[in-house]
Amino acid sequence: MPSYARYNDLMNTQPFKLRREKLLQQMGSGVAIVPTAAEKFRNSDATYPYRADSYFHYLTGFPEPEAVLIMIAGQTPKSILLCRDKNAEREIWDGFRYGSQGAAEAFGFDEAYSIDTLTDKLAELFANQSALWYSVGFDAEWDARITVALNAVRSQTRAGKHAPATIRDVRTLINEMRLVKDASEIDTMRRAATITAGAHRRAMATTRPGAFEYEIEAELLHEFRRHGSQYPAYTSIVAAGANACVLHYIENDKRIADGDLILIDAGCELDGYASDVTRTFPANGRFSGPQADVYNLVLAAQDAAVALIKPGAGFNDPHDAAVRVLAQGMIDLKLLNGSLDGVLESESYKRFYMHRTGHWLGIDVHDAGEYKNGDAWTTLTPGKMLTVEPGCYIRPSDDAPETFWNIGVRIEDDALVTEQGCEIITSAAPKTVADIEALMRDARK
């Protein structure tokens, strides 16, 4: 076994190679530059856990920092990686490095070189290319490196070399590709979803009045990690009582009271892919009447939205369906006055439901891909993955019935668009009142 067989003996690199080939075809001609993320310091010399750039990960699966993918389209398309050299001394301190030769063999690049050759390689590869496919403006250090390389070619015009005449955003092509998940992505996302659903079940099973929110967060993280998830996909929200009405509450440091509802929005990241799930449940295992009223309204809104996640629907159709159900329910619960048409027209429902019903999901929790093409919402087609996450948040106010004050509910699942409609890949986390109460009751026996 060669020394570089590390990640790769577990990882199928073929899907990454196929994506590179597809991107090269779509480019037609020119040279593309896709750098990975830099390591970032958190404080002093301690770094944040390293996470590759999402675009770079999508096209390579290569896990090390200080690397860049260069792709040359045209008659003899090729993919080139520049990465760190092997380094016996650094590998003692920080661990294994592929080195360029190991990376080329393990990940299937046509060529690979040391990242130390970057300046010269870029200038060499930019020369006489029609177009440079590079996303300007996301990383100032890479923008500067690209500028240096362009100017190096420009300085050689009298030697007959010319720099690319056009610069195009390579991410626009990759965004379209990322929108439709391939089989390997769907497999990873199903596994991430299953781990996350298990973590929500564990949270329901272990929550007791009197515990702190962070204790429940610890249960989630424990469940993510013990199943191989590398990180949470985003900072977990564990919000008890009134905290559930703060949409991005992440302090997670309050004591949970008997009678609180707890809203948990948490998902793991597995092998680069996010899951994104919200469940809301009662700390003591029994929904009160008003809590159940609001909860069942949000669940009905989610059902209405899910029914519209199918090929041919527009991205916004589930949102419109959820809003209709929520608005009527708010009228029925006397949170709002007036007619359904009036409430929809004035958007007064936004007092209690102020966010959207979903977003694309994938390598990023708010994943790449357009939501609109011109005036039309993006059409749902098989392989697209989106969340469906209606909610209702009732802060104390003079004109809302007091019985509903401080109730915040969101129910969020991850949906894969299929030929027939959609598959909810997070359905292992219970969400009817009866199923949640049964799970909590069983866990207390």
**Longest Cα separation, the chain:** 83
Is 222 tagged catalytic? no
Tell me which stretch binds Mn ion (CB under 5 A): 152-160, 242-250, 293-301, 406-414.
Answer: 406-414
Q: Is 393 a catalytic residue?
A: yes
Query: If you ran DSSP here, which 8-state letter would residue 412 be given?
Result: B
**Among 219, 276, 367, 414, which residue sits at the site for Mn ion (rule: CB under 5 A)?**
276
Q: Which is nearer to ligand GLY, 219 or 389 (CB)?
A: 389
Annotated catalytic residue within 53, 219, 260, 389: 389
Which CB sits closer to Mn ion, 82 or 429?
429
CB of 359 to Mn ion, least distance (A): 6
Assess whether 389 carries a catalytic annotation.
yes
Burial of 215 (0-12, 13-18, 19+ CB in 10 A): middle
Buried b (16+ CB within 10 A) or exposed e, 353-384: beebbbbbbbbbbebbbeeeeeeebbebeebb
Nearer to ligand GLY by C-beta: 235 or 337? 235
Told to judge if 45 belongs to the known catalytic residues of this protein, a careful annotator would answer yes
Active site annotation includes 227? no
User: Is 260 a residue of the active site?
Assistant: no
Q: Which of 45, 89, 341, 399 is the catalytic position? A: 45
Is-catalytic flag, 271? no
Nearer to Mn ion, 367 or 412 (CB): 412
Work out how close the CB of 278 gets to Mn ion at its nearest, in angstroms, rounded to a whole number.
5
Q: Pairing state of beta strands 131-133 and 30-35?
A: parallel
Which among ligand GLY, Mn ion, none contacts residue 413 (Cβ within 5 to 8 A by kind)? none
Note if 359 is an active site residue. yes
Residue 56 interface partner, choices Mn ion, ligand GLY, none, CB cut-off 5-8 Å depending on type: none
- Which among ligand GLY, Mn ion, none contacts residue 234 (Cβ within 5 to 8 A by kind)? ligand GLY
From the list 168, 286, 355, 356, the catalytic residue is: 355
Q: What gap in Å lies between CA 324 and CA 421, rounded to an integer?
A: 21
For residue 265, state whether it binds Mn ion (rule: CB under 5 A).
Answer: yes
Instruction: Return the CA Rg of the chain.
Output: 25
List, in order, residues 6 or more apart from 27 with CB less than 8 Å away.
71, 73, 131, 133, 170, 173
The one catalytic residue among 226, 366, 441, 444: 366
CB of 223 to ligand GLY, least distance (A): 17
CB of 253 to ligand GLY, least distance (A): 19
Report the nearest approach of ligand GLY to the CB of residue 239 (Å): 12
Count of residues engaged in binding Mn ion, rule: CB under 5 A: 4
On the 0-12 / 13-18 / 19+ scale of CB atoms within 10 A, 208 is: middle
For 87-109, b where at least 16 C-beta lie within 10 A, e where not — what string? eeeeeeeeeebbbbebbbebbbb
* Contact letters for Mn ion, residues 408-437 (x by CB under 5 A): ----x-------------------------
Catalytic residue among 57, 84, 178, 410: 410
Is 375 annotated in the active site?
no
Least distance in Å: CB of 234 to ligand GLY?
5
Q: Would you tell me which residues interact with ligand GLY (CB under 6 A)?
A: 234, 265, 276, 359, 365, 389, 412
CB 200 within 8 A of CB 166: no
- DSSP character string of 359-390: -B-SSSSS-SS-SEETTEEPBP-TTBEEEE--
Strand blocks (E) in 223-370? 231-232, 237-240, 261-266, 268-270, 273-274, 277-282
CB of residue 431 to ligand GLY, shortest distance in Å = 15
Which of helix, strand or coil describes residue 255?
Answer: strand
387 part of the interface to Mn ion, by CB under 5 A: yes
SS3 188: helix
CA distance 353 to 91: 52
| Measured distance CA(367)–CA(415) in Å, rounded | 13
**Helix/strand/coil for 12:** coil
Active-site residue set: 45, 248, 265, 276, 355, 359, 366, 389, 393, 410, 412
